[in-house]
Amino acid sequence: MFSRKAKTKPANQTSWLMRLIPATAKQKWSRWIGRRLPPQEKVTLSHKGIFILPSAFGLAWLALIILLYLFGTNYQNNLVIGLSLLLASVFHTCIIYSYKNLAGLTFNAVAPADAYAEQPHTFPIMLTGHANQKRADTTHQQICMQFSGQRHVRLQQTEEQTIATVQYDNPQRGLLTPGRIKVWSHFPLGLFKAWSYVDLDLHQVVFAAPLECDIHLTSQAAEDNSDISHGKIRPGVDDYTGLRSYVAGESLKQVAWKQWAQNKGMLTKEFNEPEGAPVWLSLADTQGHDLEQRLSKLSWQVNSLARKNQIFGLIIDNHTLNQSSGEAHRIACQKALALYRPSFNLQSDNHLGGQNAG
């Protein structure tokens, strides 16, 4: 399933040739690529999207062919002329194999893990290629993948289905759109560079970087706002939470008879109910030097309370997420924190509040 050999290389600095290209030319090229290779959930490389040019080694190889041919014709040396023609045939054949190395390769996006600001993040990409009949590996070799300005990953050899993790360093809080993935290869001899651009329409919400702190809960029905016992859940009859293995001696009323009829064994239905007054996490009650630090503290508190399976709500200015628990509620709270953008007045007030708190 996974590639046997995958290496991550640091991002290359912009070459002097790229720096000489005017910005308007780069914009026109980007628009043309966007029209020719539009965003898709599934992309298969073909002649429409594969570009091939000689590499620096390929240009030196071509210069050697010309030099040998001129030398052979000048001195009427058939052996040297034959060598130049042999090198020219290898040069021509590498064009075909460079194209075949990328043609037919299919790319699919896989659901990524949670992304946090200022932490390295990877996007898993599924590569599907043409498998050999006798072996599990494919004809696609030395495949490199990279987001613009980021590190690239190299797959030495791909299988019928291979997952490559393309890295994106230091994302910022909010909605991340990494853009197109550049795919290239110098296979087989490095004489040519075959490349393409794959746009899988990737989007990822980058959560605020968690910053460990004390958990501060607000309870509207109690004077002691710091009591963390509020909002916990205990066994009850209010909310159905799932199934667990049956323990001898438990009430048969809680047995999941439908699952038992399906030969899934004796399972017990679990119900929970909140204990104590509802509790809230509030941006206004969170202290910090600036807005980002306050959001980072709330991000850590959300993860911590979710691990404890505690019921809580979240208040961000005029936006309120009702009390709940579980993974879906954690993701909803983290997205609300990640996408929070205060207005100018609110940002000024928060900045002053952060200074006073500091």
Task: Write the pLDDT tens digit of every residue in 207-266.
Answer: 999 998 888 887 654 344 444 444 454 444 445 556 667 666 666 666 777 777 777 777
Q: What is the rounded distance in angstroms from the CA atom of residue 289 to the CA atom of residue 248?
A: 55
Q: Considering the domain boundaries, does residue 250 fall inside one?
A: no
Q: Percent of the chain at pLDDT above 70? A: 75
Which uninterrupted H or E stretch holds 139?
Answer: strand 137-147
Convert the pLDDT of each residue in 59-90 to its tens digit. Answer: 999 999 999 999 999 888 899 999 999 999 99
Q: What angle, 0 to 180 degrees and rounded to 10, lies between the N-to-C axes of helices 344-357 and 291-307?
A: 80
Average pLDDT over residues 344-353: 45
Q: Considering the domain boundaries, does residue 20 fall inside one?
A: no
- pTM > 0.75: no
Residues 280 and 198 in one domain: no
First to last CA, the chain: 51
Residues 177 and 52 in one domain: yes
Residues 327 and 201 in one domain: no
Q: Considering the domain boundaries, does residue 262 fall inside one?
A: no
Quick check: bond before 54 cis, omega within 30? no
Q: Where are the alpha helices (DSSP H) in the chain?
A: 16-20, 23-36, 56-75, 78-102, 257-261, 291-307, 327-338, 344-357
Residues 63 and 173 in one domain: yes
Residues 290 and 203 in one domain: no
- Asked which of 163, 183, 207 is the last residue of a domain, the reply is 207
Length of the chain: 358
Residues 102 and 182 in one domain: yes
Confidence of residue 7 (pLDDT cuts 50, 70, 90): low
Residues 291 and 201 in one domain: no
Contact 171, 202 (CB under 8 A): no
Phi first, then psi: give them for residue 44, nearest 5 degrees: -115, 125
Give the per-residue pLDDT at 92: 94
Q: What angle, 0 to 180 degrees and rounded to 10, lies between the N-to-C axes of helices 327-338 and 291-307?
A: 180
Q: Considering the domain boundaries, does residue 313 fall inside one?
A: yes
- Asked which of 207, 223, 243 is the last residue of a domain, the reply is 207
In this model, does residue 354 exceed pLDDT 60?
A: no
Residue of 345 and 239 predicted with greater confidence = 239
Q: What is the rounded distance in angstroms from the CA atom of residue 348 to the CA atom of residue 213?
A: 24
Confidence of residue 2 (pLDDT cuts 50, 70, 90): very low
Residues 307 and 163 in one domain: no
| SS3 category, 148 | coil
Q: Considering the domain boundaries, does residue 69 fall inside one?
A: yes
Give the per-residue pLDDT at 252: 67
Give the per-residue pLDDT at 235: 46
Q: Considering the domain boundaries, does residue 219 fall inside one?
A: no
Q: Considering the domain boundaries, does residue 270 fall inside one?
A: no
In this model, does residue 197 exceed pLDDT 70?
A: yes
Q: Structural domain tally of the chain?
A: 2
Contact 255, 289 (CB under 8 A): no
Convert the pLDDT of each residue in 88-128 to its tens digit. Answer: 999 999 999 999 999 989 999 998 899 999 889 999 999 98
Residues 184 and 49 in one domain: yes
Q: What is the rounded distance in angstroms from the CA atom of residue 37 to the CA atom of residue 70?
A: 42
Confidence of residue 16 (pLDDT cuts 50, 70, 90): low
CB count within 10 Å of CB 330 equals 18
Residues 198 and 332 in one domain: no
Residues 48 and 153 in one domain: yes
- Asked which of 157, 190, 207 is the last residue of a domain, the reply is 207
Contact 107, 145 (CB under 8 A): no
Give the per-residue pLDDT at 237: 45
Among all chains, which residue has been given the structure tokens 């004390």?
214
Could you list the residue range(s) of the whole structural domain that residue 291 is in? 276-357
Q: Considering the domain boundaries, does residue 79 fall inside one?
A: yes
Contact 242, 253 (CB under 8 A): no
